Amino acid sequence: MLARDGFLDIEEVVNIPGFPGTETLNNKKCVVIECKQNIPCNPCESACPHQAITVGNPITNLPVVDPEKCIGCGLCVAQCPGQACFLVDMSQKEYDTVTIPYEYYPLPQKGQDVYGLGRDGKYLVKAEVLRVIMTKVNDRTAVIEVKVPKGYGMKVRNISVDGKRIASEEDPVLEKGMLDNIDDNEMYVCRCEEITKAEVIAAVRAGATSVNEVKRLLRTGMGLCQGRNCAKTIERIIAAELGVSPAKVPQATKRGPVRPIKLTGYTSLDIEAQEEMFEHDW
């Protein structure tokens, strides 16, 4: 569900005016516009040379697809700023094809096997690249057509070339059992200073009982992020080692400024400059 999960489920897709109907997709290649939000947007309408897509007035209308006029040219796919336009063809007996917008590097090559992802970003199935279209008019948005197993035409909505950027719990690139060989203690807790979990544990066992004490020993939280990324993690490690609740671990001293502030924040202060402000003792 879009409002809850951030992506449409299939029940929502088949009930929006951008869905041309299963019968159409079973007979020819046609655009599917998975747009359910009433926002002021109509590039898909102006991109279609056959007036197969209508937004009309007001501009916040949901796009309506006329399956009789759509020829599956794919010009709308790269023009949609929300990347909600796809071409789907389920007319073949052995496989389906899906055409998607793609804005990552490296671009896949024709004939390459890639990872087909669902609307939630999770790995679904292997896909084969049939076409890669990259033209100047598309403004660096590639249009990629992939062949997927029968039944996945209305499921696959993205691809991963290298197995990265996948929301699934298991990364298909990693060999089975590879995750078991990763040592948690060697993972960085403080990325700015490259301090591992093992080093933090060693500091706690050496007597450190607060985030500040760990900081003095290891320089954790002394980097550019000012401890935003590691302080809470270090609190949990200390709590686990001491056998107490994280709430009982003394919090780190905040380094000012606690939050970044724009220079305009200082220039907008209502302070009248006086001559003594510029006097110094040196």
For 229-246, write each residue's pLDDT tens digit: 888 899 999 999 999 988
Angstrom distance (rounded) from CA 37 to CA 44: 14
User: How would you class 247 by CB atoms within 10 Å of its CB: exposed for 0-12, middle for 13-18, buried for 19 or more?
Assistant: exposed
Mean per-residue pLDDT of the chain: 85
Q: What is the pLDDT of residue 277?
A: 46
Instruction: Please state, as a whole number, how many other Cβ atoms lie within 10 Å of the Cβ of residue 223.
Output: 17
pLDDT digits (tens, 9 = 90+) for 149-194: 999 999 999 998 877 667 654 555 554 554 556 677 888 899 888 8
Model confidence at 271: pLDDT above 60: no
pLDDT digits (tens, 9 = 90+) for 9-38: 888 999 999 999 999 999 999 999 999 888
Angstrom distance (rounded) from CA 121 to CA 115: 11
Q: What is the pLDDT of residue 278?
A: 45
Q: What is the pLDDT of residue 108?
A: 92
Strands in 195-278 per DSSP E: 195-196
Angstrom distance (rounded) from CA 173 to CA 186: 21
Q: Do β-strands 64-65 and 53-54 pair in parallel, antiparallel, or remain unpaired?
A: antiparallel
| Nearest to 107, CA basis, from 168, 171, 164, 160 | 160
Angstrom distance (rounded) from CA 15 to CA 20: 10
Residue found under tokens 């700023």: 81
Written as six digits, the tokens of 99 are 């055409």
Q: What is the pLDDT of residue 132?
A: 94
Mean per-residue pLDDT for 52-77?
92
Q: What is the pLDDT of residue 1?
A: 63
Angstrom distance (rounded) from CA 158 to CA 120: 9
Q: What is the pLDDT of residue 274?
A: 55
